[in-house]
Amino acid sequence: MSAVFRHPPMLALEALEDHLGRPGAAAERARLDDDETFPAGAVDDLTSFGLHLHYIPAEYGGRLHDYESAAALIRAVAGRDLTVAIAHGKTFLGAVCVWVAGDDRQAGRIAGDVADGRAVAWGLTERAHGSDLVGGELVGSPVPDGIRLDGEKWLINNATRGDIICVLARTDPDGGPRGFSLYIVDKRRIQAGSLEPLPKVRTIGIRGADISGFRLRGTVVDPEQDRVGPAGHGLETVLKSLQLTRTLCAGLSLGAADHALRRAVGFAEVRVLHGRLLIDLPAAGRTLAECYADHLLAEAFATVVTRSIQALPGEMSVLSAAVKYLVPVQTEDMLARLRRLLGARAWLRDVAADDPTGDGGDTGAGEFQKIERDHRIVALFDGNTVVNLNSLVSQFPALVRAHRRVAGTTEGLQAAGDLVRPLPPVDLGRLRLVAVAGVSLLHGLDEAADRVAVLADAEPDLDAVARAVRRLADRAGPLVEQMRLPVSPPEIPAEAFVLADRLARTLAGAAATVLWLDSRENVCGAGVLPWRDGSWLLAALDRAAAGVDDGPSADGATTGSGDGSGEADEPALDRAYATLLAALREQVRTGRLTSLFPARLAGAA
Ligand SMILES: Cc1cc2nc3c(=O)[nH]c(=O)nc-3n(C[C@H](O)[C@H](O)[C@H](O)COP(=O)(O)OP(=O)(O)OC[C@H]3O[C@@H](n4cnc5c(N)ncnc54)[C@H](O)[C@@H]3O)c2cc1C
């Protein structure tokens, strides 16, 4: 056990925070947002830090050794301004297919481009087909000097500002799973005039981002050098690449939640109502504590899934869909609760949340509404909520089959949950379209419950935690049984979506459990959030269960205690939420990240 354990991704986050310094004036961010102006200065600042190098795998000269550090860096940027995070991070999305399926020469070329600061976009979506990629009509047809691309992509981030676009094209007129290929369209190398940028599309959030599109007319690309992966394998490559990008999207939600929690706590710490600080009023304090527990659950889930890219790559088809579904949706709910807590301050554009006098001041004025507006895109792009639930449903048969055969903890699961255990090197060749062997988080749940019970025998304070983990494990078996229902996409019954939601919540609870079990000896004592007493896990499991058995709470949101914990565990839960509220206040007061792990933000003592 070490009292000075530091989670390495948080050191990367601190280095970026040091580089960026204290966030600039909120008024400037608001001005760019109002004017729908691309935040070029902030994007350039990230490039001068070298953030773009974290999008390039280490074997091609970049700094992408592990995906957790990249996720932490994206989270830090999102914690300041989501528009900037999405505008800069787009290059990872644009290049990712090359890392997944490109050959060494091609990957070296794109790595060089990204290292030189050239922005890469990802052209999948078409106006008429949205998330139905199989309907895509942009055509790639053979001509004597290469492959000729004709058609349009629309709603593409950085389509106009980007230098290179990775484009999905229909190469078999009949379409189908093997009917599409991916091509690199480098604006420097194509014939002048064969790519027409489409006008910027005005949006409700991330208003400054370059959301536009492009039309290709007879754009000729090289069939070997520019094709990413084998001919006809475009959809497969996209689906595998999305497993990485969907996982990293959680960093955008975590950053937005960090930002919103700081604003909400800042307000509740100074707002005096009925002679008391708002934060000391029980309902307000509980709301903040529950929101923080939601956030910690999301962070734990994202941490384990991100580590699974290396530890359990064959399971990422399920894990990435679950995390991309649950974390943005849960964060949206959390932001709505915090908005209600802020009251008028969330509605006013020129008054800061932590300026109770309402007489001006710059810090954070109007920021909350921007955070909430900007964040709404996270659930929508890179596979929207329904697409991810759909992906889970389509894998029900594999999960049901595997559940019968496998039980117990695997080495991969231990590596995903134990933060000091070295992860295997990244091997994107091990990503699979379907998790045929099931999901270790589900298989290991019974054993995890047994392990927590053993701990509780020695430490009776953990009794309530042990019961909560046991309830989670007991729910998993019947859930898998229910997942036997017949489905034939796209005719998916509404009931299947409910089960997919429960599956995602169960996986989140299981991820929090293994993270706590396998890392508590190392993380405890390192920061203000206690790990040893299990308080954050108890509250996180309460929140994971809350979505399953809804009921109104004091602020009209989903209640906790939806897991049938009953009155017996209420005092333990109350203590856990009180502990969390104290830790949250301390993290905000001392300029720390609102996190399971200690991390210093810029300007903190
Ligand atoms: C700001 C922004 C940036 C973007 N950036 C990019 C980019 O860089 N590259 C890119 O390629 N694309 C990008 N997109 C496109 C984005 O990924 C798509 O908009 C997204 O995939 C969803 O498509 P859609 O909204 O057209 O929804 P549709 O596919 O038209 O779906 C509409 C609705 O139908 C419902 N639905 C869909 N499928 C089902 C189903 N199977 N069962 C039941 N209901 C269903 C859902 O409620 C869904 O929201 C961006 C979009 C935006 C807004």
| Domain match, 344 and 407 both | yes
Pocket residue to mutate for ligand 1, from 125, 166, 252, most atoms within 8 A of Cβ: 125
- Expressed as residue numbers, the domain containing 32 is 8-115
Q: Which protein residue's CA is at the shortest distance from atom 48 of ligand 1?
A: 386
Is 571 contained in some domain? yes
| Domain match, 309 and 416 both | yes
> Is a pLDDT exceeding 50 seen at residue 581?
yes
Is 484 contained in some domain? yes
Pocket residue to mutate for ligand 1, from 185, 206, 381, most atoms within 8 A of Cβ: 381
Is 353 contained in some domain? yes
What is the tens place of the pLDDT at every residue in 541-553? 999 998 775 444 4
Pocket residue to mutate for ligand 1, from 384, 391, 393, most atoms within 8 A of Cβ: 384
Domain count, the chain: 3
| Domain match, 478 and 371 both | yes
In the numeric block, the tokens 């600061």 are attached to: 117
| Domain match, 223 and 273 both | no
pLDDT of residue 80: 96
Rounded average pLDDT over 12-23: 96
Lowest-pLDDT range, 38-47, 257-266, 362-371, 485-494?
A: 362-371
| Domain match, 579 and 480 both | yes
pLDDT bucket at 487, cuts 50 / 70 / 90: confident
| Closest atom, ligand 1, to C-alpha of 383 | 21
Binning the chain into helix, strand and coil, the percentages to the nearest 5 are 55, 10, 35
* Ligand 1 centroid to residue 433 C-alpha, Å: 20
**23: closest CA among 602, 416, 605?**
602
* CA dist., res. 71 & res. 255, Å (int): 10
pLDDT bucket at 17, cuts 50 / 70 / 90: very high
| Domain match, 266 and 209 both | no
| Domain match, 219 and 154 both | yes
Indicate the residue among 64, 93, 115 that finishes a domain. Answer: 115
* Ligand 1 centroid to residue 170 C-alpha, Å: 19
Is 285 contained in some domain? yes
* Ligand 1 centroid to residue 484 C-alpha, Å: 28
* Ligand 1 centroid to residue 122 C-alpha, Å: 14
The answer to whether residues 486 and 393 touch, using CB atoms and an 8 Å cutoff, is no
> Is a pLDDT exceeding 80 seen at residue 510?
yes
What is the tens place of the pLDDT at every residue in 61-94? 999 999 999 999 999 999 999 999 999 999 999 9
For the chain, give the percent of residues with pLDDT over 70.
93
Instruction: Return the bridge partners of 197, or none.
Output: 214
Q: What is the ipTM of this complex?
A: 0.97
Q: Is 277 helix (H, G, I), strand (E, B) or coil?
A: strand
Is 234 contained in some domain? no
Q: What angle do CA 225, 228, 230 make, to 5 degrees?
A: 100
Pocket residue to mutate for ligand 1, from 36, 155, 374, 387, most atoms within 8 A of Cβ: 155
* Ligand 1 centroid to residue 395 C-alpha, Å: 21
What is the tens place of the pLDDT at every residue in 302-339? 999 999 999 999 999 999 999 999 999 999 999 999 99
| Domain match, 51 and 86 both | yes
Indicate the residue among 115, 149, 183 that finishes a domain. Answer: 115
| Domain match, 562 and 418 both | yes
| Closest atom, ligand 1, to C-alpha of 153 | 11
Is 597 contained in some domain? no
In the numeric block, the tokens 């565990």 are attached to: 569
| Closest atom, ligand 1, to C-alpha of 131 | 29
Is 574 contained in some domain? yes
Rounded average pLDDT over 104-133: 97
Q: What angle do CA 168, 172, 173 make, to 5 degrees?
A: 105
| Closest atom, ligand 1, to C-alpha of 489 | 41
The answer to whether residues 366 and 348 touch, using CB atoms and an 8 Å cutoff, is yes
Pocket residue to mutate for ligand 1, from 131, 390, 488, 491, most atoms within 8 A of Cβ: 131
| Closest atom, ligand 1, to C-alpha of 377 | 1
Q: Which protein residue's CA is at the shortest distance from atom 32 of ligand 1?
A: 130
* CA dist., res. 517 & res. 78, Å (int): 29
| Closest atom, ligand 1, to C-alpha of 130 | 26
| Closest atom, ligand 1, to C-alpha of 168 | 11
pLDDT bucket at 526, cuts 50 / 70 / 90: low
* Ligand 1 centroid to residue 326 C-alpha, Å: 17
Q: Which protein residue's CA is at the shortest distance from atom 45 of ligand 1?
A: 386
pLDDT of residue 567: 72
Q: Which protein residue's CA is at the shortest distance from atom 9 of ligand 1?
A: 156
> Is a pLDDT exceeding 70 seen at residue 37?
yes
Is 573 contained in some domain? yes
pLDDT of residue 3: 54
Q: Which residues line ligand 1 (CB under 6 A)?
A: 121-125, 130-132, 155-157, 203, 211, 377, 380-381, 384, 386, 390, 490
378-407 burial, b at 16+ Cβ within 10 Å, e below that, comes to bbebbbbbebbbbbbbbbbebbbebbeeee
| Domain match, 218 and 259 both | no
Indicate the residue among 115, 142, 175 that finishes a domain. Answer: 115
* Ligand 1 centroid to residue 136 C-alpha, Å: 13
pLDDT bucket at 1, cuts 50 / 70 / 90: very low
* Ligand 1 centroid to residue 378 C-alpha, Å: 11
Asked whether the CA dihedral 469, 470, 475, 476 is positive or negative, the reply is: positive
Q: Looking at per-residue confidence, does 96 or 367 come out higher? A: 96
| Domain match, 380 and 413 both | yes
| Domain match, 189 and 67 both | no
What is the tens place of the pLDDT at every residue in 407-421? 677 899 999 999 999
pLDDT of residue 552: 42
Cα dist. 454→126, 414, 425, 467, 524 in Å?
Answer: 54, 18, 33, 12, 19
Rounded average pLDDT over 121-128: 98
What is the tens place of the pLDDT at every residue in 347-381? 887 776 665 545 444 445 578 999 999 999 999 99
* Ligand 1 centroid to residue 468 C-alpha, Å: 37
Q: What is the CATH classification number for the domain harbouring 401?
A: 1.20.140.10
Rounded average pLDDT over 252-275: 96
